[in-house]
């Protein structure tokens, strides 16, 4: 092919370089516009409080770690005399806080809230994946009576608005003393996640040919041993992908958390929008919390890019 | 993974079976026992957390229970709650608002998502990196998104109005995205689309990639124009995927609560008050448990019925 | 190829599980063991006075050895969060400083401990407290000697203004020319509107400023707490004083309609842009950043505003809620402190209340930023001079009026929030329609409770 021909030639499947450039430009433009709000928030985490609410809004500003310090501490305002009489500030964050006539009074609640998110998120994910794997294996390998209906029933449990589901759960937990407990939230999130887990894992397990298990059974293994030695190793990718999607749901969930937790078991999503500074919302601290909270999910997304599609459509779409 | 999948293995093998009329006692538990052992915990959990509360809620919907006045005697009111709800004009307006939200967001997200998928499918260099960037908004907690967008949309101190004023010359403090009756409904559509257009894009990408090359090559041979190829090959083969995306987005946005509640509190007035927000206020601020249970049941029946019909249509399209 | 991919993923899966196990174990390990020292948790809203209370509470800890922990929630979700907590019989709070309007529900639902016996035992007399606060924060049913809280924070709606702008000669001259009277803090709402119009859009120190800041928040109670300040003074009544729960003709009287229309006119003509869902914090931000000449807000914030480096000191002035054609009232704020009935530490909690009720503690409470309701503090001769807003506070506490404190108050409040916001901010219907609808809403609520509601 001549150079000229090569530059315009294309099969319909492989686009010409010109088309590719235009497509690329449009997508890059969209991506840049879409990421601007996130960049603004990431930047706000490094602004001082007055910079964050300056009008007109500041694009160039003096960065400071106040937002992060405010996120992790509780401070009280003191008179300048009181501060002058204190022993000199030992650490960089003490110095930072004293510049504003304030003194650190203790750690804020963000770390316990983050731990709650971790425990409830990972706990419910673990349980949902465990129960889901077992149930999905059964649906895939055995003939369960009413399987179709059961599977649709499992799916339909996700159609109710969470606020609606919360009404009887609230009453139930009140009686059982499960409000504001790890157990209560883990049970609830597991129940919501297990439907996703069963659908996803069934799809993954369906793809593993039965011949391997049959061979193992013929060789004298029990069904359970066959499951452990043959099926599970091949389903590990699917299990990992399922786990990530369950985790994303539990991690970001707000409605149940705000209605059913209060102090001990409160997770990050109901905590972040209500971080208060002096008189108003502490935007740098909120931005700092948002940034820190999204990092684990972003990492997982990048790692499991290839399984993203399957997960968010309940396994209905495979790549 | 692909190496071991049979080329003609059916994609969905619901209810594939081993014979277990004849219980296979092969060392240890029989298959039948295992099946029940494996399925029961899941079903039990769902019964306890989903079905039992649902039944309780049905019972509650026939009462006048108000949790903040639980010292009042509980009255059975039969279908009064349902009658009240179905005859309440305001509630119908809420449903309308919700329906408008669902339709606008789904349409917009399909257009943008499909468009992006078509472009990304051209596989320009570093498309994978930019795709990941576009996916980021989806990863955030909707509640947190609603909250920080209030800062971004503030007329005086938020960047959004300033960017618009740079582009159009309107002074930044002359309009308020979340405060004006005409703009607020579109604002919630805008933020939701920012978050979820990538979702539709992913699904369409999968659809586009599932179309085998040889079909296009055959069309080239037949000298079909690019438009014709799009219309008779691309679109029909992506339609099942599009319909799936529409189903999932519609269900999610019907349930929408956290993002909108934190962005506008349902305001100004009630112009962006979605039905979930109304439900939350009824149940957890006014504490009218009986009444709100009835509304919840009505909503559930609506979504369930609609989804059922839609999935049947979707299956028919898939089989074509 | 299969093997290595599967091997890699197994490692990932194993790693993830190990991470989970590690986190869970760590979390369980660092979970605080049942506290050896005594502890009390006090629940309130997150605002300046709460920070002052933390300081004050250090004295209590020194005296009694009981450690104080606090749970502060922003105002916009304060009622939501704590009514949820009380309703779910939670154990989070031992002491709660609940809003004045919760008293009815708290009493009827037995969320609070009744304090009559405790007061008798410890010789705490309600007569020592400002009557309006006892009625508003403590009594249920109203006007009966049944006490469910100790008045803790006396508060009302007041106004701040930019004294420095009012003092500028060119501004004074221009105002006098336009309105034929001196520029001074307004005594009536008509005067306030004039001043707001005068400042609206004016350039001061190179920035455009606006006339007034008023409450418009939709979600919790904001716009109601703002509009009542105007409505009361235009003749709005909650019901017939001679016939309880008769609302027709009192909630939607022609004068009340005029009052509601006035609030909307003020909102449309003379406020800063974008204030469609604004309550306490937005007002503070607007005033502190120099956007408005006058600000409606709670007295609770005035100590902090007075200390503000940008607008405090000589730059700030205070005035009482202006009068209207039919009266002079202001919306009551403030809270009482109560013991939560489900608490496991009721004796310690009562000890805190006993300590808090002492005159010397109440005096310190006033000095560090709280608002005492004790007569000994506010009726002391030196009180009006103790702070620049003290005289206005005293005057306001004499003219306060409160919203319904019924057990169903949340429903009544949310109904009013909706109707008022729909009319004032979302331009739906007329003022008459809004108030007529409100009567219907409230009638429905009371009927469901079983109260007899007269229609005429």
What single string gives the DSSP state of each residue in chain A? --HHHHHH---SSS--HHHHHHHHHHHHHHHHHHHHHHHHHHHHTTS-HHHHT-SSPPSS----SHHHHHHHEEEEE--HHHHHHSPPP-SHHHHHHHTTTEEEEEE-SHHHHHHHHHHHHHHHHHHHHHHHHHHHHHHHHS--TTHHHHHHHHHHTTSS-HHHHHHHHHHHHHHHT-TT-HHHHHHHHHHHHHHHHHHHHHHHHHTS-HHHHHHHHHTT--HHHHIIIIIHHHHHHHHHHHHHHHHHHHHH--HHHHHH-SSTT--HHHHGGG-B-SSSB-HHHHHHHHHHHHHHHHHHHHHTGGGHHHHHTTTS---
Residue C401 falls inside a structural domain: no
Domain termination site, one of A83, A108, A133: A108
Residues 6+ positions from B10 with CB-CB distance below 8 Å: none
B320 pLDDT band, cuts 50/70/90, is: low
pLDDT of residue C339: 95
Domain of C168: which CATH number? 3.40.190.10
Q: C23 and A240 in contact by Cβ < 8 A?
A: no
A263 vs C: CB within 8 A: yes
Judgement on whether residues C236 and C298 belong to the same structural domain of the protein: yes
Q: How many CA atoms lie within 13 A of C340 on its CB side?
A: 25
With the C-alpha atoms ordered B258, B259, B263, B265, is the resulting torsion angle positive or negative? negative
Within-domain flag for C116:
yes
Which of C2, C18, C24 is the best residue to mutate to test the A interface, defined by the most A CB atoms within 10 Å of its own CB? C24
The kind and range of the H/E element at C407 are none
Q: Are residues A124 and A174 in the same domain?
A: yes
Q: What range does the domain containing A28 cover?
A: 18-64
Interface test with B, best of C6, C273, C437 (most B CBs within 10 A): C273
Number of H-type helices and E-type strands within chain C:
20, 13
Collect all residues of chain B within an 8 Å Cβ-Cβ radius of residue C108: 69, 71
Three-class SS state of C126 = helix
Q: Among residues B301, B296, B279, B307, which one has the least CA distance to residue B102?
A: B307
Q: Hey, are the CB atoms on A142 and B20 less than 8 Å from each other? A: yes
Percent over 70 (pLDDT), chain A: 90
3-class DSSP state of C293: strand
Cis amide prior to C85 (ω within 30 degrees): no
Any domain includes C133: yes
Residue C32 burial (C-beta neighbours within 10 Å; 0-12, 13-18, 19+) = exposed
**pLDDT value at residue A29:** 92
Q: Taking a C-beta distance cutoff of 8 angstroms, is the pair C150, C115 a contact?
A: yes
Q: What is the CATH number of the domain that holds A123?
A: 1.10.3720.10
Burial of B223 (0-12, 13-18, 19+ CB in 10 A): exposed
Hey, what are B211's tokens? Answer: 């179309």
| Same domain assignment for residues C126 and C177 | no
Does residue B284 or residue B28 have the better pLDDT?
Answer: B284
Whether C274 and C234 share a structural domain: yes
Q: Which of C12, C74, C92 sits opposite A276 (nearest CB)?
A: C74
Which of A9, A31, A64 corresponds to the end of one domain? A64
Tokens of C380: 């002391």
Torsion, Cα of B96, B100, B101, B104 (10° steps): 170
My answer on whether A69 and A143 are in the same domain is: no
Q: Per-residue pLDDT for A4 more than 50?
A: no
Is there a single domain that holds both residue A276 and residue A298?
yes
B33 CA to chain A: closest CA distance, Å? 10
The domain covering B82-319 belongs, at the CATH homologous superfamily level, to: MetI-like (1.10.3720.10)
In a domain, C219, yes or no: yes
Residue C244 host element (H or E) = none
Query: For residue C429, is it left (φ>0), alpha (ψ between -120 and 50) or beta?
Result: left
Which other chains touch chain A, taking contact as 3+ CB pairs less than 8 Å apart? B, C
Decide: A111 and A68 in contact? Cβ < 8 Å.
Answer: no
DSSP state of B125: T
Same domain assignment for residues C250 and C284 = yes
Do A264 and A118 have their domain in common? yes
**C-alpha to C-alpha distance for B283 and B285, rounded to whole angstroms:** 6
Question: What pTM does this model have?
Answer: 0.84
Per-residue pLDDT of chain C (456 residues; tens, 9 = 90+): 333 444 454 455 455 555 655 555 555 544 444 444 689 999 999 888 888 898 899 999 999 999 999 988 888 888 888 998 898 888 889 999 999 888 988 998 899 999 999 999 999 999 999 999 999 999 999 889 999 999 999 999 999 999 999 999 999 999 999 999 999 999 999 999 999 999 999 999 888 899 999 999 988 899 999 999 999 999 999 988 888 889 999 999 999 999 999 999 999 999 988 888 899 988 988 898 888 999 999 999 998 899 888 888 999 999 999 999 999 999 999 999 999 999 999 999 999 999 999 999 999 999 888 999 999 999 999 899 999 999 999 999 999 999 988 888 889 999 999 999 999 999 999 999 999 999 999 998 998 887 877 765
Q: Which domain holds residue C58?
A: 39-156+333-380
* Number of other CB atoms surrounding residue C127 within 10 Å: 7
| Interval A57-114: pLDDT, tens | 888 888 999 899 999 988 877 777 778 888 887 888 888 888 877 888 788 889 999 9
In the prediction, which pLDDT does B188 show?
96
> Looking at the structure, do residues C186 and C239 belong to the same domain, yes or no?
yes
State which residue of chain C sits closest to B288, comparing Cα positions: C411
Rg, Å, chain C Cα set:
25
Domain identity same for C339 and C444: no
Q: Are residues A33 and A131 in the same domain?
A: no
Range of A292-301, B188-197, C441-450 with top mean pLDDT: B188-197
Q: Which of A236-240, B24-28, C343-347, C438-442 has the lowest mean pLDDT?
A: B24-28
The domain boundary, picked from A29, A47, A64, lies at A64
Residue B211 — pLDDT band, cuts 50, 70, 90?
A: confident
Nearest alpha carbon to residue C283 among C157, C414, C132: C157
The number of distinct structural domains making up chain A is: 3
Which are the contacts of B20, defined by CB distance < 8 A and separation ≥ 6?
A142, A143, B30, B31, B32, B35
Question: Angle at Cα C105 formed by Cα C102 and Cα C106, nearest 5°?
Answer: 75
Please, are residues B256 and B237 in contact by the beta-carbon 8 Å criterion? no
Q: Which residue has the tokens 């449903």?
A: B95
pLDDT band with cut points at 50, 70 and 90 for residue A315: low
Q: pLDDT tens digits, residue range A188-204?
A: 999 999 988 888 888 88
Cβ <8 Å between C281 and A281: yes
Higher pLDDT, C324 or B180: C324
- Same-domain check for residues C195 and C292: yes
- Three-point CA angle B41, B43, B46, nearest 5°: 105
- Give me the residue spans of the domains in chain B: 82-319
The minimum CA-CA distance between B182 and chain A, rounded to whole Å, is: 23
In a shared domain, residues C198 and C139: no
CA atoms of C440 and C436, how far apart (whole Å): 7
- Tell me, yes or no, whether A191 and A278 share the same domain: yes
C-alpha to C-alpha distance for A245 and A305, rounded to whole angstroms: 12
How far apart, in whole angstroms, are the C-alpha atoms of residue A196 and residue A187?
Answer: 15
CA distance C207 to chain B (A): 12
Asked if residue B191 lies in contact with residue B259, where contact means CB atoms within 8 angstroms, the answer is yes
| Residue C206 and residue C281 in one domain | yes
The residue that leads in pLDDT, C428 or A224, is: C428
Structure tokens at B221: 């041979």
Same domain, C241 and C292: yes
The three-class DSSP label of residue C350 is helix
In this structure, the answer to whether residues A177 and A264 fall within a common structural domain is yes
Which residue of C88, C279, C343 is the best one to mutate when testing the A interface, meaning the one whose CB has the most A CBs within 10 A?
A: C88
Contacts of residue A279 in chain C, CB cutoff 8 Å? 47-48, 280-281, 284-285, 288, 301, 304
pLDDT digits (tens, 9 = 90+) for A131-162: 999 999 888 888 777 777 777 777 777 788 89
Residue with the bigger pLDDT between C202 and B206: it is: C202
Which positions 242-281 of C are in contact with B (Cβ < 8 Å)?
A: 272-277
| Same domain, yes or no: A84 and A224 | no
Domain count, chain C: 2
Give pLDDT, residue C175.
94
Both C68 and C108 in a single domain? yes
Alpha-carbon distance B134 to nearest alpha carbon in chain C (angstroms): 26
Q: Evaluate if residue B9 carries a pLDDT over 80.
A: no
A8 occurs within a structural domain: no
Q: Same domain for C350 and C319? A: no
User: If DSSP codes are grouped into helix, strand and coil, which group holds residue C240?
Assistant: strand
Whether B177 shows a pLDDT value over 80: the answer reads: yes
Task: Check if A239 contacts C (Cβ < 8 Å).
Answer: yes
Terminal alpha carbon distance of chain A: 34
Share of chain B above pLDDT 90, in %: 35
Longest CA pairwise span in chain A (Å): 85
Identify whether residues A132 and A277 lie together within a single domain. yes
Alpha carbons B109 and B105: distance in angstroms, whole number: 6
């Amino acid at each position: 092919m001549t150079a000229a021909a090569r530059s315009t030639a294309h099969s319909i499947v492989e686009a010409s370089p010109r088309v590719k450039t235009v497509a690329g430009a449009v997508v890059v433009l969209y991506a840049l516009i879409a990421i601007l709000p996130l960049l603004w928030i990431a930047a706000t985490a490094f602004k001082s409080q007055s910079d964050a609410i300056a009008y007109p809004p500041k694009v160039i500003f003096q960065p400071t770690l106040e937002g992060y310090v405010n996120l992790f501490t509780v401070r009280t305002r003191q008179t300048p005399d009181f501060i002058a009489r204190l022993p000199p500030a030992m650490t960089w964050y003490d110095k930072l806080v004293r510049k504003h006539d304030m003194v650190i009074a203790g750690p804020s609640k963000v770390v316990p809230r983050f731990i709650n998110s971790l425990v409830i998120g990972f706990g419910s994910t673990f349980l949902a994946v465990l129960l889901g794997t077992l149930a999905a294996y059964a649906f895939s390998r055995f003939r369960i009576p009413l399987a179709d209906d059961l599977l649709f029933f499992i799916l339909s449990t996700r159609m109710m608005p969470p606020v609606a589901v919360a009404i009887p759960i609230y009453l139930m937990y009140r009686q059982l003393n499960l409000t504001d407990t790890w157990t209560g939230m883990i049970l609830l999130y597991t129940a919501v996640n297990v439907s996703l887990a069963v659908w996803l894992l069934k799809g993954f397990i369906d793809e593993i040919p039965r011949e391997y298990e049959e061979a193992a059974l013929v060789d004298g293994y029990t069904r359970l041993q066959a499951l452990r030695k043959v099926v599970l190793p091949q389903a590990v990718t699917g299990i990992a992908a399922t786990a990530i999607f369950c985790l994303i749901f539990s991690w970001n969930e707000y409605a149940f958390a705000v209605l059913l937790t209060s102090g001990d078991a409160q997770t990050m999503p109901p905590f972040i929008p209500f971080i208060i500074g002096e008189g108003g919302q502490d935007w740098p601290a909120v931005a700092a919390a948002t940034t820190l909270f999204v990092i684990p999910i972003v990492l997982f997304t990048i790692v499991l890019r290839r399984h993203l599609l399957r997960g968010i459509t309940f396994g209905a779409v495979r790549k | 993974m692909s190496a071991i999948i049979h080329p003609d293995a059916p994609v969905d093998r619901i209810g594939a079976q081993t014979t277990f009329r004849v219980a296979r006692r092969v060392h240890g538990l029989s298959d039948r026992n295992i099946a029940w052992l494996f399925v029961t915990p899941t079903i039990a959990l769902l019964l306890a957390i989903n079905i039992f509360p649902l039944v309780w809620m049905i019972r509650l919907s026939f009462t006048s229970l108000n949790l903040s006045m639980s010292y009042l005697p509980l009255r059975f009111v039969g279908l009064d709650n349902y009658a009240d709800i179905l005859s309440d004009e305001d509630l119908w307006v809420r449903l309308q608002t919700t329906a408008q939200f669902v339709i606008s967001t789904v349409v917009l997200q399909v257009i943008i998502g499909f468009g992006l998928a078509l472009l990304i499918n051209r596989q320009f260099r570093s498309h994978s990196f930019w795709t990941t960037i576009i996916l980021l908004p989806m990863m955030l907690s909707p509640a947190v998104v609603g909250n920080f967008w209030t800062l971004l949309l503030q007329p005086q101190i938020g960047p959004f109005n300033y960017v618009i004023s740079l582009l159009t010359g309107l002074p930044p403090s002359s309009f308020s995205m979340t405060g004006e009756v005409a703009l607020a409904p579109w604002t919630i559509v805008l933020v939701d689309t920012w978050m979820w257009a990538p979702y539709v894009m992913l699904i369409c990408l999968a659809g586009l990639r599932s179309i085998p090359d040889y079909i296009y090559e055959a069309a080239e041979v037949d000298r079909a124009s690019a438009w014709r190829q799009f219309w008779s090959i691309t679109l029909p083969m992506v339609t099942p995927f599009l319909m799936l995306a529409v189903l999932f987005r519609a269900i999610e946005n019907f349930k929408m609560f956290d993002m909108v509640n934190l962005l506008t509190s349902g305001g100004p007035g009630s112009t962006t008050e979605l039905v979930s927000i109304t439900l939350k206020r009824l149940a957890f601020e006014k504490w009218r448990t009986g009444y709100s249970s009835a509304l919840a049941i009505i909503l559930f029946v609506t979504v369930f019925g609609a989804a059922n019909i839609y999935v049947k249509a979707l299956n028919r399209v898939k089989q074509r | 190829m299969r093997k290595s991919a599967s091997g890699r993923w197994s490692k990932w899966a194993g790693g993830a599980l190990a991470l989970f196990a590690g986190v869970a174990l760590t979390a369980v390990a660092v979970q605080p063991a049942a506290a050896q020292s005594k502890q009390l948790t006090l629940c309130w809203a997150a605002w300046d006075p709460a920070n002052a209370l933390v300081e004050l509470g250090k004295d209590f800890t020194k005296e009694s050895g009981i450690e104080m922990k606090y749970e502060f929630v922003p105002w916009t979700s304060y009622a939501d969060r704590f009514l949820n907590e009380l309703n779910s019989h939670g154990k989070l709070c031992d002491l709660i400083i609940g809003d004045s309007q919760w008293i009815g529900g708290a009493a009827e639902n037995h969320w609070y401990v009744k304090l009559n016996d405790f007061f008798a035992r410890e010789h705490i007399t309600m007569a020592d407290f400002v009557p309006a606060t006892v009625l508003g924060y403590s009594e249920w049913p109203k006007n009966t000697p049944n006490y469910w809280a100790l008045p803790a924070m006396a508060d009302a709606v007041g106004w701040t203004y930019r004294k420095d702008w009012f003092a500028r000669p060119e501004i004074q001259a221009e105002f006098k020319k336009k309105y034929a009277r001196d520029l001074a803090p307004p005594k009536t709402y008509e005067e306030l509107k004039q001043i707001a119009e005068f400042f609206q859009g004016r350039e001061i120190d190179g920035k455009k400023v606006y006339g007034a800041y008023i409450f418009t928040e939709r979600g919790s109670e904001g716009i109601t707490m703002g509009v009542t300040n105007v409505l009361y003074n235009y003749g709005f009544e909650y019901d017939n004083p001679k016939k309880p729960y008769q609302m027709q003709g009192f909630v939607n009287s022609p004068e009340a309609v005029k009052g509601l229309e006035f609030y909307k006119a003020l909102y449309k003509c003379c406020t800063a842009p974008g204030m469609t869902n604004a309550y306490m914090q937005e007002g503070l931000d607007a005033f502190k950043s120099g956007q408005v000449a006058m600000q409606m807000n709670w007295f609770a914030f005035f100590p902090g505003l007075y200390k503000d480096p940008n607008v405090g000191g000589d730059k700030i002035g205070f005035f009482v809620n202006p009068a209207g054609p039919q009266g002079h009232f202001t919306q009551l704020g403030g809270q009482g402190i109560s013991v939560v009935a489900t608490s496991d530490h009721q004796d310690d909690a009562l000890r805190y209340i006993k300590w808090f009720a002492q005159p010397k503690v109440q005096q310190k409470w006033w000095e560090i930023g709280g608002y005492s309701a004790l007569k000994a503090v506010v009726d002391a001769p030196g009180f009006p001079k103790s702070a620049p807003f003290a005289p206005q506070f005293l005057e306001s506490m004499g003219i306060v009026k409160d919203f319904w404190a019924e057990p169903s108050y949340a429903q009544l409040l949310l109904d009013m929030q909706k109707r008022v916001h729909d009319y004032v901010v979302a331009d739906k219907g007329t003022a008459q329609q809004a108030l007529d609808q409100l009567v219907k809403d409230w009638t429905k609520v009371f009927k469901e409770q079983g109260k007899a509601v007269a229609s005429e």
